[in-house]
Amino acid sequence: MPMKTAIFFIFLFSFNSHAIDLKALLAKVDDLYRSEQSVAKMEMEVVTPNWERTMEMDAWSKGTDKTLIRILSPKKDAGVATLKLKNEMWNYFPKINKIIKVPSSMMMASWMGSDFTNDDLVREYRYSRDYKASYVDKGDYYLITLIPNDDVVTVWGKIQVEMDKKTELPTKVFYFDEKDKKIRKMEFKERKIIDGKNIPMVMELVPLNKEGYKTMIRYKSLSFKVKVKDSVFGRKNLQKRK
Amino acid sequence: MLFKISFRNLFRQKRRTFLTVFMMILGFTLMSFSVALSEGGYGIIIQSFTNAKTGHIQIYKENFIDVPNLYKTINNIENLIEKVKKKKAVVGVAPRILSGGLLSFKETSVGAAITAVDFNKEKEVSTLEKRIDRGRWFKSSGSYEVLVGKNIASILEVELGSKIAIISQGADGSISNDYFTVSAILKKNAFDDFQIYMDFKSAGEFLALEGRAHKLVILLDDYEKSKMVAKTLQNDVPDKVTVAPWFEVEKEFYKGMQADKQGNSILYIIIGIVVAIGVLNTILMSFLERKREFGILKAIGTSPRNIFGQIMVEAMLLCSLGIFGGLICSYFLNWYFSIHGIKFEEIEFGGIVLNEMMTTLQPLVFIIPTAIIFFSTLLVGLYPAIMAARVTPVEAMRAN
C-alpha cells in the first residue's frame, strides 16, 4: 500500500513539474514594458494606404495607473500629449492650448492616427487576472488562449498569445472579435536586456480586416532604474510644450 | 349590331344600370383621389427632403455613400462643377466635405459629424441657411466659423460667438486641431442632429483636403428629372466617380416611402373588389332575369359566341360609362385639391414635418383606377357570359 501511494505521489509531482504556471507567464506579458517606474523614448511609424508618418515621442509611466506620452516630432504634432490616469484619458493640444478629456464614446477611435485605439492605452484589465486561460504546447512555443471573464468590458471576444518557451516572452498576439474573426495581430521583435529585464524593443500592430495598414513602435531608449515624480502626471506638466 | 343590341339591353333596366354606373364612378373617384393624395403627398415629402440636404443628384467617388472614407475624394472640382452647370435642368451645384471630430467647449466634449459647405454655392442646393434659428451664415469664405445643430449647442452649452475647439484627423495623417467660432445655431430638426457645418474653404485647410471634396450636390428644377439627368451626367465624370439620383443616395428613406405606398395599393385592390362585386351582381342579375330570353335566342340559332359577346359588351359598356364618368368627377376633385390642399395635424416622415397634403394630376392618378375597373369588370363579366353562352334552350325556356 505505502508503495502504491508513494508511486502515485511521485507521478503527481513529476506531472506538475511539466505543467506551466500560466498566471505567472501572463503576468509577464501584462508587465512587459512596465516596472514600478519607467522612462522611454519611442518612435512610432504609421503606414496607411494614404500616407506614412513617423512620430517621435517621450513616455513616462508609474505602475499601471499613470502614463504620460508627449510627441516630439513631426513639427505639426510637436507638443501634443496624452495623459492616462487609471482608466481616464486626456489629450493636450498646444496649438489651441487645451486639455480635452477623451469621452468614453471615443475610446475605440484611433490614438494619434495609429492602429492603436485610445482603449488600448487606457485599459486596466490584466491577462493574468481578468481572463480565463488555457494553453496548447506547440513545441517551440505555447499557444495561450484567453477568454475574458464575464465582468470584463472589452471588444475582444478572444485573445491568443504565442509565448516563446525559451525567452518566456510573447512573440505574437492575435485579437479576435465576438464572432471569432481575427481582427488584428501584434508582433514583438528585437529583444534586448534592459535593466535586467528581457524586452522586445519593437511592437508591430497589423489590422487583419483591412489592407495596407500597419503601426510599428520602436523603443529608442528605455529605463526602469529611474525615479518618476508624481507631478509628471499632473495638469501643469501635461501643458508643457517640451 | 352586337353593340346596338347590348346598348339597348342596358337601358331596359334604367335604374339598375344607372345605379351600377354610379357605383363605378364612386369607386373610380375614390381610388383616383387616394392615388392623387398619396402621390401628391409623397411629392411634397420628396421635395422637402431633397431640398433640405440631399439635393436631387449627388456625385461622389466610388461607393462613398456606403463606405465613407476621408480619403475618397473627387479632385478637380471646379472643372466638374462647370460641366454640370451646363445641363439645362440644373439649378445649383455645390461641393461638400464630410468628416467627424471631437468638439470641446470648456469642460465638455462631444463627438459630432462635420459637414463642410460652400460659402456661396450651398444656398443654391439646400435650405441650410433657412434652418438657422439664431445667428448668421459664415462671414466670408475661409473664416473659421461653424453652424451648430441645436442638440450639440445644448450639450456643449455654447452660444453665438462661443469658441469651440475641434479635433479631427487630417488627411495627411496629422491631428487637426483648431478653434471655430459659433456663428449660428440651427433650428431643431432631424437633419442637423449631431451635425456642425463648417465653411468649405476653411475645412479644406483644417483637414488637409485643399481642393478636394467628398460630394457634389446638384439641385434640378424638377425632382422627377433626377434619374434621367444622372444618367447623362455619368458620361461626363471621370473614371471611378459615381453619379447617383437622390433615391440611390437615400435608400432607407426611399424604401420607407415605397413600403408606405405598398400599403395604399391594398386599399385600391379592396375598392376594386367591392366595385367588381357590384358589377358582377348587376350583370348576373340581368342574365338570370333574361335566361328565358337567351334560351329562345339560342333556339332560333344565335351562336353561343354571339351570346357570350353580348353579355361581355354589356359589361364593357357599363364599364366605359363608369370610367368616363369617373374620369370627369375625379379630374375636378383632384384639380380642386391640388390647389387648395387638405390641412391636418402635423405628421413626420423621414425628418420632414407635413401638415398639408395636396393632390396631383399626374397620369398615374387616372391610369390606376381605369385599369383596375376595366380589368375587374372584364374578369367579372366572364362568368355570366360563359354561363349565358352555355344555356340549353329547353331548360332556359322553362325558367322564369
- Name residues whose C-beta falls within 8 Å of residue B3's C-beta, 6 or more positions apart in sequence: B313
The ipTM, to two decimals, is 0.72
Does residue B358 have a pLDDT over 90? no
Nearest Cα residue in chain A from B163: A96
Suggest the residue from B73, B104, B163, B194 to mutate for an interface test with chain A (most A CBs closer than 10 A): B104
Name the residue facing A98 among B104, B110, B175 (closest C-beta). B104
Is pLDDT larger for residue A2 or for residue A218? A218
Q: Domain for residue B35, yes or no?
A: yes
Last-in-domain residue among B182, B213, B244: B213
Say yes or no: B272 and B390 in one domain. Answer: yes
Q: Is A79 on the interface with B (CB under 8 A)?
A: no
Q: Domain for residue B347, yes or no?
A: yes
Closest by alpha carbon to B370, among B325, B338, B332? B325
Identity of the amino acid at B239: D
Cβ-based contacts of A53 with chain B (< 8 Å)? 173-174
Does residue B348 have a pLDDT over 80? no
Q: Is B113 on the interface with A (CB under 8 A)?
A: no
In contact, B361 and B310? CB cutoff 8 Å:
no
Q: For the segment A178-199, what is each residue's pLDDT rounded down to a tens digit?
A: 899 999 999 999 989 888 888 8
Q: pTM (2 decimals)?
A: 0.74
- Name residues whose C-beta falls within 8 Å of residue B228's C-beta, 6 or more positions apart in sequence: none
| Average pLDDT for B106-122 | 92
Q: Domain for residue B221, yes or no?
A: no
Distance between B176 CA and the closest CA of chain A, angstroms:
9
| Average pLDDT for B345-363 | 72
C-alpha dist (Å) from residue A166 to A19, A27, A139, B92: 15, 16, 11, 69
Say yes or no: B73 and B198 in one domain. Answer: yes
Percent share of chain B, pLDDT over 70: 97
- For chain A, give the number of residues: 242
Question: DSSP string covering B9-70, please?
Answer: HHGGGHHHHHHHHHHHHHHHHHHHHHHHHHHHHHHHHHHHHIIIII-SEEEEETTTTTS--T
Q: For the segment B285-334, what is each residue's pLDDT rounded down to a tens digit?
A: 888 888 888 888 888 888 888 888 888 888 888 888 889 999 999 898 88
- Predicted confidence at residue B308, as pLDDT, reads 87
Say yes or no: B287 and B368 in one domain. Answer: yes
C-alpha dist (Å) from residue A228 to A36, A63, A66, A148, A233: 9, 10, 10, 32, 9
| Average pLDDT for B246-257 | 89
How many helices (H) and strands (E) in chain A?
5, 13
Say yes or no: B268 and B158 in one domain. Answer: no
Q: Domain for residue A178, yes or no?
A: yes
Q: For the segment B160-190, what is each residue's pLDDT rounded down to a tens digit?
A: 999 999 999 999 888 999 999 999 999 988 8
Question: DSSP string covering B360-379, please?
Answer: ---THHHHHHHHHHHHHHHH
Say yes or no: B152 and B267 in one domain. Answer: no
Beta carbons of A93 and B165 less than 8 Å apart: yes
Does residue B78 have a pLDDT over 60? yes
- Predicted confidence at residue A3, as pLDDT, reads 64
Name the residue facing A100 among B109, B172, B174 (closest C-beta). B109
Q: Is A77 on the interface with B (CB under 8 A)?
A: yes
Say yes or no: B27 and B80 in one domain. Answer: no
Beta carbons of B102 and A100 less than 8 Å apart: yes
Q: Domain for residue A242, yes or no?
A: no
- Predicted confidence at residue A145, as pLDDT, reads 92
Phi/psi-derived region of residue A15, left when phi > 0, alpha when psi is between -120 and 50, beta in every other case: alpha
Does residue B42 have a pLDDT over 90? no
Cβ-based contacts of A98 with chain B (< 8 Å)? 104, 165, 177
Q: Domain for residue A50, yes or no?
A: yes
Q: Domain for residue B291, yes or no?
A: yes
Q: How many domains does chain B have?
A: 2
Is pLDDT larger for residue A13 or for residue A116? A116
Q: What is the mean pLDDT of chain B?
A: 88
Cβ-based contacts of B104 with chain A (< 8 Å)? 98, 100
Q: Domain for residue B59, yes or no?
A: no
Say yes or no: B280 and B175 in one domain. Answer: no
Say yes or no: B392 and B318 in one domain. Answer: yes
Nearest Cα residue in chain A from B166: A96
Domain with B319, as residue range(s), is 2-49+254-398
Percent share of chain A, pLDDT over 90: 40
C-alpha dist (Å) from residue B365 to B40, B199, B260, B341, B378: 10, 44, 17, 16, 21
- Predicted confidence at residue A242, as pLDDT, reads 59
| Average pLDDT for B5-19 | 81
Say yes or no: B258 and B394 in one domain. Answer: yes
Q: Domain for residue A230, yes or no?
A: no
Q: For the segment A68-114, what is each residue's pLDDT rounded down to a tens digit?
A: 999 999 988 999 999 999 889 999 999 999 998 888 888 888 899 99
Q: Rounded CA gap, B293 and B271, in Å? A: 33
Q: Is B67 on the interface with A (CB under 8 A)?
A: no
Neighbour count for residue B348 (Cβ, 10 Å): 10
- Predicted confidence at residue A129, as pLDDT, reads 84
Q: Domain for residue A5, yes or no?
A: no
Does residue A10 have a pLDDT over 70? no
Say yes or no: B196 and B165 in one domain. Answer: yes
Domain with A221, as residue range(s), is 20-225
| Beta-strand relationship, A214-223 and A37-47 | antiparallel
User: What's A37's domain CATH number?
Assistant: 2.50.20.10
Closest by alpha carbon to B104, among A70, A96, A116, A109? A96
Q: Domain for residue B56, yes or no?
A: no
Q: How many domains does chain A have?
A: 1
Closest by alpha carbon to A203, among A82, A42, A67, A39? A42
Q: Domain for residue A7, yes or no?
A: no
Distance between A181 CA and the closest CA of chain B, angstroms:
20
- Predicted confidence at residue A14, as pLDDT, reads 44
Last-in-domain residue among B188, B213, B238: B213
Q: Three cell numbers at B374?
A: 376595366
Is pLDDT larger for residue B207 or for residue B41? B207
Percent share of chain B, pLDDT over 90: 39
Predicted confidence band at A15 (pLDDT cuts at 50, 70, 90)?
very low
- Name residues whose C-beta falls within 8 Å of residue A136's C-beta, 6 or more positions apart in sequence: A142, A143, A145
C-alpha B79, offset from chain centre: 32
Beta carbons of A76 and B174 less than 8 Å apart: yes
| Average pLDDT for B265-273 | 84
Q: For the segment B230-240, what is each residue's pLDDT rounded down to a tens digit?
A: 999 998 888 89
Say yes or no: B117 and B35 in one domain. Answer: no
| Average pLDDT for B144-169 | 94
SS3 B301: coil
Write B103-106 long-range contacts (CB < 8 A, 24+): B103/B152, B103/B156, B103/B164, B103/B165, B103/B166, B103/B196, B104/A98, B104/A100, B104/B156, B104/B164, B104/B165, B104/B166, B104/B167, B105/B156, B105/B157, B105/B158, B105/B162, B105/B163, B105/B164, B105/B165, B106/B157
Q: Domain for residue B193, yes or no?
A: yes
Predicted confidence band at A17 (pLDDT cuts at 50, 70, 90)?
very low
